[in-house]
Amino acid sequence: MGFFLYSGGNLLLLPLALVYLSPAEIGLWYTFVSLSLLGMLFDLGFSNAITRNVSYAVSGAKTINKEGLTDTEYSGPNYELLVRIIKISRIFYSSLSLLIFILFVSLGSLYVSSVISKDNSLSISLAPWFVYTLATSINLYFGYWKPLLKGFGAIKESQKVRVMDKLTQLLLSAIFLFFGFGVLGIALGFLIGSVSARFLAIYYFNNYDVEFRKNISSWNKKVTYFEDGNKVVARNLLPNTYKQALVSISNFFTLRGMTLLSSYYLGLETSAVLGLLQQMLTTLMQVSNTLFNTYVPLLGSLLTKKATEDARSYLFKAVKIQWLILSLGSLMILFSEPIVQVFNEGIRYFPLHITIIIILIYVLHNNHSLFSTYISINNYFPHSQSFILSTVIIIILQVISLNLFNSIYSLILPLLFVNLVYNNWVWPYKVLARDF
């Protein structure tokens, strides 16, 4: 239940946003969300690396390999390795949060100002953007806590953190919207929800299994931040973190990049419709991947222990559930326009065939991403280069086409056809054929 609240939280806020915000303000909100997600993307896939490698250490891995998994006979968690991963994570995220804050206050503010200035219907300051900037920086500063919990196998606690984050954000955003704060109200809800969730994650970590926490504390006193052992772990951890970063960058610009380009070239009202569809589709993807994401620590443990057939069995079960949810959810989204217009008559969907193309893009992307994630759990990243190359080609084609035709087709057709050529089918095939 907690995951569904987290995944669909913004949809619960959407009716109020449709009532209290204009189409242009909704477009600006989605622009802020996309930029905030871009900031979170700067973790370079490190959160996934933390979850994956913590699960290896909990399963008894003696060290972290640059590629592949170590042969391990389980003899209990490797607490020394766990502590080294935690300390490396703290250094990484504190540095990253400062970098993002500086970039968003400077370059981000210039972009947001240019978007606002192009829409004569908007009379809004940069205050909401600065609040989003602060919230994103705080999210990054404490960014390692949730993946730590997930890597330990504390799935229930990790979901509670998600619920606290989203529930606080929803309640406060709704109150602020009701009292006329507009986009600033949503930004304040995001900030307060982020802070409360991070402190809850720290609480759960400190109160996780007493014996487990005792061993972590013991090793924490023995291991200093900049000793050679940490440098060795970091050198083995960072190469695949870099590859995971390429995947994360690709995923963002392939999908969320459409909102940023739309805001700049097509206007905020078009971005409002595109952002609305993206929000519903993103929620659908998250819900459809719930079972698989729950299995990730288990899959990491099984693959570490060479129980490949058991791991594949869990994978295929998750894939079947994914497609069932995607099929039903896509039909609901396709015919959701009348419901949206009950709350805001100014929102008009794209023609039906365009909406179908956007849904198809998301469904196919989600499917190949799930299979490529399974490959990455094996600590292999053969897909990283093709992901980033496809993204570069897509963006180039989109920008050229937007300058020539200035149409929604300029955004969606390059994305559809470039991924159909390779990524949409290659990575599912390689997993099915055991060719990686």
Res 389 pLDDT > 70: yes
Burial 14-46 (b: 16+ CB within 10 A, else e): bebbbebbbbbbbbbbbbbbbbbebbbbbbbbb
| 183 close to 127: Cβ distance less than 8 angstroms | no
Please enumerate, as own/partner, the contacts of 418-424 that have beta carbons within 8 Å and a separation of 24 or more: 418/390, 418/393, 418/394, 419/254, 419/361, 419/364, 419/365, 419/368, 419/390, 419/394, 420/364, 422/386, 422/390, 423/365, 423/368, 423/383, 423/386, 423/387, 423/390, 424/364, 424/365, 424/367, 424/368
Per-residue pLDDT tens over the stretch 326-339: 999 999 999 999 98
pLDDT of residue 359: 96
The confidence band for 377, taking pLDDT boundaries of 50, 70 and 90, is: confident
Res 10 pLDDT > 70: no
Q: What is the mean pLDDT of residues 113-119?
A: 81
Per-residue pLDDT tens over the stretch 271-330: 889 989 998 998 899 899 989 988 887 888 788 777 888 899 999 999 999 999 999 999
The confidence band for 69, taking pLDDT boundaries of 50, 70 and 90, is: low
pLDDT of residue 188: 94
pLDDT of residue 74: 57
The confidence band for 5, taking pLDDT boundaries of 50, 70 and 90, is: low
Q: Which two tokens mark 398?
A: 């989109």
pLDDT of residue 40: 74
Spell out the domain ranges in the chain.
2-432
Q: How far is CA 80 from the centre of its chain?
A: 29
Per-residue pLDDT tens over the stretch 35-66: 887 777 766 567 777 777 787 777 777 776 66
Local structure of 337: helix, strand or coil: helix
pLDDT of residue 328: 96
The confidence band for 8, taking pLDDT boundaries of 50, 70 and 90, is: low
Res 210 pLDDT > 80: no
pLDDT of residue 9: 59
pLDDT of residue 246: 74
pTM: 0.72
pLDDT greater at residue 375 or residue 216: 375
Contacts of 354 (CB under 8 A, 6+ apart): 408, 409, 412
pLDDT of residue 30: 85
Q: What is the mean pLDDT of residues 333-359?
A: 90
Res 7 pLDDT > 60: no
pLDDT greater at residue 266 or residue 55: 266
**Cα–Cα distance measured from residue 91 to residue 269, given in angstroms and rounded to the nearest whole number:** 41
Q: Which two tokens mark 113?
A: 């100002």
**Cα–Cα distance measured from residue 136 to residue 33, given in angstroms and rounded to the nearest whole number:** 10
pLDDT greater at residue 152 or residue 353: 353
In the numeric block, the tokens 């909102």 are attached to 259
pLDDT of residue 75: 63
Nearest-10 Cα torsion for 250, 252, 254, 257: -130
- Taking Cα atoms as reference points, which of 374, 287, 283 lies closest to residue 323? 287
Per-residue pLDDT tens over the stretch 119-153: 766 667 788 899 999 998 998 888 777 777 777 77
| 419 close to 364: Cβ distance less than 8 angstroms | yes
Q: Which two tokens mark 341?
A: 């217009």
Q: What is the mean pLDDT of residues 5-26?
A: 76
CA distances from 242 to 135, 187, 195, 423 (A): 25, 31, 28, 19
Res 163 pLDDT > 80: yes
pLDDT of residue 189: 93
Q: How far is CA 371 from the centre of its chain?
A: 16
Mean pLDDT, the chain, whole residue set: 84
Res 213 pLDDT > 60: yes
pLDDT of residue 176: 94
